[in-house]
Chains A and B, each alone.
Chain A
Amino acid sequence: MKIPILKIKNCLIASIQFEVDDRTVMEFQDNLLERIREEDIRGIIIDLTSVDIIDSFIAKSIADVTKMARLLGARVVITGMKPALAITLVELGITLGDIKTALNLERGLARLEKMIEEIDR
């Protein structure tokens, strides 16, 4: 199964809807970077609303993809993380460094817009 990536204006929205394995997430990484380059993307939202648990590898891959996207000139916001997931990640020592987060998709889009404005300035 592939993680669907949708495009709105110059942003991409990827919503992870099922338990992902290592291969899916690697594929997702490639797809996302490819599309950023091809479609001149400025912002990306990775939505975790329906994710109950992720392991350290997936968490690291998501952290990596944000850094890679940044190199390509795009900004990433992670949205909709559940309390249980956040607690697990913190307990595992994964604090996702300087990744930007938002409560829900709406807030995430607002935050992303601001971040894009900041690069353009």
Chain B
Amino acid sequence: MGKRAINNLLKNDMEDILQTVVEELNVQRKKSDVFMNPAIEKLEIKQFLESLRILLEKQSEDKINDDHLSSLFMPFCQKKASEGYYLRHLVFDTLQIKKVIWVKLQGEMKENPSLLMDALSVLSDVFDEIIKYMGKVFMEIREDIIRSQKHALRELSVPVVPIFDDILILPLIGTIDTTRAKQIMENVLEAVLSYEAEFVIIDITGVPIVDTVVAHHIIKTVQAARLLGTKCILVGIRPEIANTIVELGVDLGDIKTQGNLKNGINLALSMKGLKIIREDDAKG
């Protein structure tokens, strides 16, 4: 009964409700920093009301079907999330719509308190479900975005570049923490295996701070690479980093080091018994 009453109200007074909601929201918008294109917003609210009407129509007995909810409101939520809309604004707007319908119902059914009670409880339930659903979908969409960004960041953070047969370069840039160090180790070892590398040149020019933790991680990577059968050369140690390493008493063991990348490449080549020479000299 209450359901049918809301449905009739939505059918007959659609334009009226729409207008009231838009006006109410406009008042609120002026107070806040949210800007929306009024024409688009009106269209969206209209779609929302239409979806609400269909949801009530399809609803059998007292239970709200999750499939109906998702088929009706999923595209709306996705659109809002991709536009960078905040969940709190969305919930606020939805509650605003509920309030308008609530007031309308009260006005329509002054003479029939029992029907009014029923209608209001149906309205309440339906909006509860919608908001619960919105929260769920919004969080899922946001988490997806965060996950893909994290993935992209991770890919960027450990580039392994093959420069010659058997020689890989690992240019490290930025701060190294434990998570990243683990990632670096795994990526390097996988790359060593897939390129069958004999040498890995680790360039730490872009690492701002080398403390005991970072040094420890680098040493571990070198040791693991050695177990696989690969030699590592550490290059790009800046003077101040050499200073900290010595002052902290970090023992780099027998890890081969070179001042810059160029010398590192030369060392790797000479250890392989190769040398870069000018073409003329080779002929002459």
A interface, CB within 8 angstroms of B: 78-79, 81-83, 85-87, 89-91, 95-96, 101-104, 107-108, 111
Task: List chain B residues, Cβ under 8 A from A91.
Answer: 220
Give the interface centre of B192, B220, B223, B228 by most chain A CB atoms within 10 Å: B228
Q: Name which of B3-11, B183-191, B241-249 contacts chain A.
A: B183-191
Contact of A103 among B186, B190, B230 (CB under 8 A): B230
Contact of B193 among A78, A79, A83, A107 (CB under 8 A): A83
Verify if B196 is at the interface (C-beta below 8 Å from A). Answer: yes
Q: Known contacts A83-B186, A83-B189, A83-B190; decide if A89 and B227 are in contact (CB<8 Å).
A: yes
Does A90 contact B229, Cβ atoms closer than 8 Å?
A: no
Interface size bracket, B side: 10 to 19
Q: Known contacts A103-B192, A104-B196; decide if A83 and B224 are in contact (CB<8 Å).
A: yes
Does A108 contact B229, Cβ atoms closer than 8 Å?
A: yes
CA distance A102 to B193 in the complex (A): 11
5 further A-B pairs in the complex, CB-CB below 8 A; given A81-B229, A101-B227, A107-B229: A81-B228, A83-B228, A89-B227, A101-B226, A103-B230
Task: List chain B residues, Cβ under 8 A from A89.
Answer: 224, 227
CA distance A86 to B220 in the complex (A): 10
CA distance A79 to B227 in the complex (A): 9
One digit per residue, 1 when the CB lies within 8 angstroms of any chain A CB and 0 when it does not, for chain B 218-257 equals 0010011111111000000000000000000000000000
Shortest beta-carbon distance from B182 to chain A in Å = 8
CA distance A25 to B114 in the complex (A): 84
Shortest beta-carbon distance from B180 to chain A in Å = 15
Shortest beta-carbon distance from B160 to chain A in Å = 13
- Smallest CB gap from A102: residue in B: B229
Does B189 contact A103, Cβ atoms closer than 8 Å?
A: no
- Smallest CB gap from B195: residue in A: A103
- List 5 A–B pairs whose Cβ atoms lie within 8 Å, in order of A's numbering: A87-B224, A103-B193, A107-B196, A108-B229, A111-B229
CA distance A11 to B220 in the complex (A): 32
Shortest beta-carbon distance from B241 to chain A in Å = 23
Does B220 contact A103, Cβ atoms closer than 8 Å?
A: no
Does A87 contact B185, Cβ atoms closer than 8 Å?
A: yes
Does A90 contact B220, Cβ atoms closer than 8 Å?
A: yes
Instruction: For chain B, residues 107 to 163, give those with C-beta under 8 angstroms from any C-beta of chain A.
Output: none
CA distance A85 to B223 in the complex (A): 12
